[in-house]
Structure 1
Amino acid sequence: MEVQGREAPSLAMILVNSFQLLYVMDALWNETAILTTMDIVHDGFGFMLTFGDLVWVPFVYSLQAFYLVNHPNELSWPVALAIIALNTVGYIIFRGANSQKNAFRRNPHDPKLAHLNIIPTATGKSLIVSGWWGFVRHPNYLGDLIMALAWSLPCGK
């Protein structure tokens, strides 16, 4: 705000920081689901996870806010509401898919998951082919990409 001579943050900055706060709060709230991810189960705590957590995520996820410090962008409320709606759609897909995947990994025989169709793999594991996973191969990534777009749109141009 000091760099831009503002008394309050811009609507664009508020959106970007709010979206990022939601993402961080979601990660903290659903922390146990991280323990069933491929990074933890198969790769373990190695270079990729260390580099990702200490360098990639903090640097890349803050680029929009950093950009807005030196390149302010004014948003109208209708545009802001459309961006909020886009982020909400992305979050619903992201959280729904990750929750479904986590529940299946924890207990594939849970009666709450009986409606899901699965196919066996050559390794003896099962893949979900319905629910969120019946629409697209990696719906969690689709949700992430939609949210990334919503985080970037307030930057304009």
Structure 2
Amino acid sequence: MNNSPFRSVLFVCLGNICRSPLAEGVFRSVLAAEGKGDGIRIDSAGTNGYHTGEAPDERSIAVAGRYGIDISNQCCRQLTLEDFTRFDLIVGMDRANVAAIETRRPANATAQTGLLYEIALGELKQIPDPYYGTNVDFERVYRMILAASKGLSKRF
């Protein structure tokens, strides 16, 4: 029996097409490798709805695929008020994401919120948005998310 306070996590970035879908897939993979995935809800969302209904960015799909993680079937969505009671933990990829999450936080929210790296590894590091970058930037973001996911898994 898992006595962790966390049984669900929502990863949040700006558009839910680069970082947060990658984090969803990587964290799911890390938990599975550790034999912890059963019964844990993992999802991702964006603070804006520009890409609602779309698949993740092809570069995020490609970098995940290079490590045996398939995120191609994910569907982008926007953060909702219900997410604040549906998830135990809502983490933003950077400070702007966390600020946007807190701006939307309803009075009845039960979720703990914060910066992914801070909650996972105790560091104030931000995961940069690779959208306007190159494949090298997506690779760097993957490595950062993998490190954070391994740290976060200890909380589940």
TM-score, length basis structure 2: 0.27
Larger radius of gyration: 1
TM-score, length basis structure 1: 0.26
Higher relative CO (Cα under 8 Å, sequence separation at least 6) belongs to 1
Structure holding more helix per residue = 1
Structure holding more strand per residue = 2
